[in-house]
Structure 1
Amino acid sequence: MNFTIETTDMDLGDTPIENIFINDFMPMANGTYVKVYLLGYKYAHDKDQNIEVNNETIAKHLDIPLDDVLRAWDFWEGKGIIEKMPVDMNNKYNYKVRFLNLKQLYIKNNFNILNAKEESPKKPYLCTTEDLIDANQIPAINRMFNSIDYIMRRPIVPMEKQKILAWIHDYNMNPDVIEKAFFYAVERKGIRKINYVEGIIRNWYDQGLTNLEAITEHFKSQDEKYYKYEKVMKHLGLDKRPITQGEMKVIDKWFDEYEFSMEMVLKGCESSSKVSNPSVNYIDGVLTSWFEKQIKTFEDIEKKDKLKEKKDYKVTKTVERKSTPIKTRFHNFEQRTSKYTSEQLEEIARKKREEHYLKAKGES
């Protein structure tokens, strides 16, 4: 006697993906590598033993070259989250993929950190030229380098790029966190030195600040002004570029001179949805108008809106008047024909015609 479960004709199941993969590993890979990992993980999680899957199956399913699938497994093996188990020792491309448990890896890594004092110090990662070439093919890494070029106001050289890639490996930082460190160093501290940025990264790592959410909360408690800049620019959808000194002064005015709360400032930022290119200057016009009208709270805004609504919908009654013709001096003239009846007028006209006829006949 045995027990079986009927499989459905359609795939209506689900595949649990660990958040560690989504948060820590997915941002560092290009889309193709992520798709290969997810589809392979889905097949590994599938309980139907009748389904036979290999790299050719994945390549066909995703409509990509087989070489892309193989490169994806090489990439994830390098990140330490899969193992390739050879099937045919004479064919290095014929292997099975074993997905490692990311929760268990996380616990082991943290356990190793706690016991690091008893072990020899870990050697820093040395990024090679080949590593740099491969990294540039990853969209998230490429975007990070382009953003850093913009923030630094100069293109960073290959040696600096290799150093930055080493930070990602040594401090387990995502590209967006590295970008935020450059942004903070240049725009907030006014320092454009690579070593200074590395110091920021190291401090964040020591404090356990390894993602943007944690860093934002840190700014909120330690650097209130920078937190305000971040909040406003993100609300306007302008957080992908550095904030200018002029924009900082304008935002400072809203809080220091106008004494608006963060909620009121963000309420003002909502008006940016009415324009195609929102800007700090546009919001400054809105908030300055509120300040001049002594609008300080949401209740003041509601009162203003109700007053405007009354004005817009106020109906003024129009009094109907009979149109009277404009009189001129000719209207005071009394017509001669008003003294005769219609029969008398006809008789006068007949006599006039006869006189005209006789006169005309006598002339002839």
Structure 2
Amino acid sequence: MNFIIETTDIDLGDTPIENIFINDFMPMADGTYVKVYLLGYKYAHDKDENIEVDNETIAKHLNIPLIDVLNAWDFWEQKGIIKKIPIDEGKQYDYKVKFLNLKQLYIKNNYKPINMNEEVVTKSYTCSVEDLVDANQIPRINEMFNSIDYIMRRQLVPNEKRRVLEWIHNYNMNPDIIEKAFFYAVEKKGKRNINYIAGIIRNWYDQGITNIEALQDNLKVTNEKYYRYERVMKALGIVNRLPTEGEMKTIDKWFEEYKFTMEMVLKGCENSKKTSNPSISYIDGILSSWHQKGIKTLEDIEEKDKPPIKKEQEFSNKKYRKAKVNKNRFHNFEQRTSKYTADQLEEIARRKREEYYSKIKGEYNDV
């Protein structure tokens, strides 16, 4: 028994372990099955013809029962990424293991273009009920389905979930891209048909869009509004959900009503670092303030967004410099002495005294 690898007539630049296996197939498999695949793949790459290995060699190397090795090859053959080539018809467990080139496999199975209104036909992998049950145990897959349910405003039925898993495997898409496809179809195109979304997935795959960065680059050219949503959410560090309808309207306002550039909006997002809980509404407060102040460029921010200089509160200062007087009703009368000088007051006092003494003297003489 030995192990061989299928060669391809197209140089696709393989790594020792293809990324498609790591991203798509490894998460769905039992750890023992992954170990068997990787060790067998290593032996297949070994160029030393003097080294002969078989399933018993793998079992001893991994310190597992032989039946686990055989079950692992059955599992991977069912997934369509290896082939068992019998050596002796009389010996059921005596066979070669041929590792299929996963890139070539995807090209062969997914080369035919698809109509947007037709159902995606996947040949390399068909999701079974057991696969769906296993996938639901993976936290990231559960998060993806919950997000899709929110976008669609309903729960996906099991058959639809199985199709989503087939997209992940057959088009080498990660869950983030699947979520974006649903969001794009519902919010941008107003379509909730699963076949329409399948067409979006296929078109993105044909354009080489299999990760968020590639999607953003594409949307920047083809769909400016959707690109804005993606870029703003990423700048705020909000990666665990898509924008709500209200948040999308707010973002549209920044660009369409306020006429801000992406550079200005991202500058506003930078200011969100001042708070521990950045949000669209917090950024809206910053950008609305800039709009009211007539700020349109980064240079305007330095000039017009300075904190106002505090003016002297003259009224308050006077209030505290003067002692406060509690007035009563007698303060309403004007003081008569305020009309005379000191000399005049003295003369008045002198005449009053003389008049007084004259009066007293007259009363005494009468007696």
Residue 199 of structure 1 aligns with which residue? 199
Cα distance, 1:293 vs. partner?
A: 2.7
Please identify, of 148-157 and 189-198, the stretch whose mean Cα deviation from structure 2 is larger: 189-198
Is 1:106 paired with 2:103?
Answer: yes
Alignment TM-score, normalising by the size of structure 2: 0.58
Unaligned runs of 5+ in 2: 1-14, 114-120, 311-367
Query: In the TM superposition, what whole-angstrom CA distance separates every residue of 1:260-304 from its partner, at most 9, and x where no partner exists?
Result: 111221121122233232210011111112222333333333446
How has the CA–CA distance of structure 1 residues 156 and 111 changed in structure 2, closer, same or farther, with 3 Å as cutoff?
Answer: closer
Cα distance, 1:26 vs. partner?
A: 6.1
8 Å contact 2:82–2:99 — kept in the other structure?
A: yes
Cα distance, 1:230 vs. partner?
A: 1.0
Is 1:180 paired with 2:206?
Answer: no
Q: What residue identity is the alignment partner of 1:128? A: S
Provide the rounded CA distance (Å) in 1 between the counterparts of 2:187 and 2:76. Answer: 35
8 Å contact 2:24–2:168 — kept in the other structure?
A: no
Provide the rounded CA distance (Å) in 2 between the counterparts of 1:270 and 1:30. Answer: 42
8 Å contact 2:83–2:99 — kept in the other structure?
A: yes
8 Å contact 1:58–1:69 — kept in the other structure?
A: no
Q: Greater relative contact order: 1 or 2 (C-alpha under 8 angstroms, separation 6 or more)? A: 2
Q: Give the length in aligned residue pairs.
A: 282
Residue 134 of structure 1 aligns with which residue? 134
Identity of aligned residues (%): 56
Provide the rounded CA distance (Å) in 1 between the counterparts of 2:282 and 2:254. Answer: 13
8 Å contact 1:187–1:243 — kept in the other structure?
A: no
Q: What residue identity is the alignment partner of 2:262? A: M
8 Å contact 2:40–2:58 — kept in the other structure?
A: no
Q: SS of the residue aligned with 1:290?
A: helix
Cα distance, 1:259 vs. partner?
A: 1.6
How has the CA–CA distance of structure 1 residues 212 and 34 changed in structure 2, closer, same or farther, with 3 Å as cutoff?
Answer: farther
Residue 250 of structure 1 aligns with which residue? 250
Q: SS of the residue aligned with 1:263?
A: helix
Please identify, of 83-92 and 17-26, the stretch whose mean Cα deviation from structure 2 is larger: 83-92
Unaligned runs of 5+ in 1: 1-15, 117-121, 313-364
Q: How does 1:60-209 map to 2 (within 5 A)?
A: 76-81=76-81, 102=101, 105-107=102-104, 109-110=106-107, 126-209=126-209
8 Å contact 2:36–2:72 — kept in the other structure?
A: yes
Aligned-CA RMSD value: 4.6
Provide the rounded CA distance (Å) in 1 between the counterparts of 2:252 and 2:232. Answer: 11
How has the CA–CA distance of structure 1 residues 165 and 113 changed in structure 2, closer, same or farther, with 3 Å as cutoff?
Answer: closer
Provide the rounded CA distance (Å) in 2 between the counterparts of 1:126 and 1:256. Answer: 45
Cα distance, 1:226 vs. partner?
A: 0.7
Q: What residue identity is the alignment partner of 1:203? A: N
Provide the rounded CA distance (Å) in 1 between the counterparts of 2:133 and 2:162. Answer: 10
Alignment TM-score, normalising by the size of structure 1: 0.59
Cα distance, 1:168 vs. partner?
A: 3.6
Residue 298 of structure 1 aligns with which residue? 298
8 Å contact 2:87–2:96 — kept in the other structure?
A: yes
Residue 362 of structure 1 aligns with which residue? none
Residue 119 of structure 1 aligns with which residue? none
How has the CA–CA distance of structure 1 residues 193 and 106 changed in structure 2, closer, same or farther, with 3 Å as cutoff?
Answer: closer
Cα distance, 1:21 vs. partner?
A: 3.4
Q: SS of the residue aligned with 1:278?
A: coil
8 Å contact 1:32–1:68 — kept in the other structure?
A: no
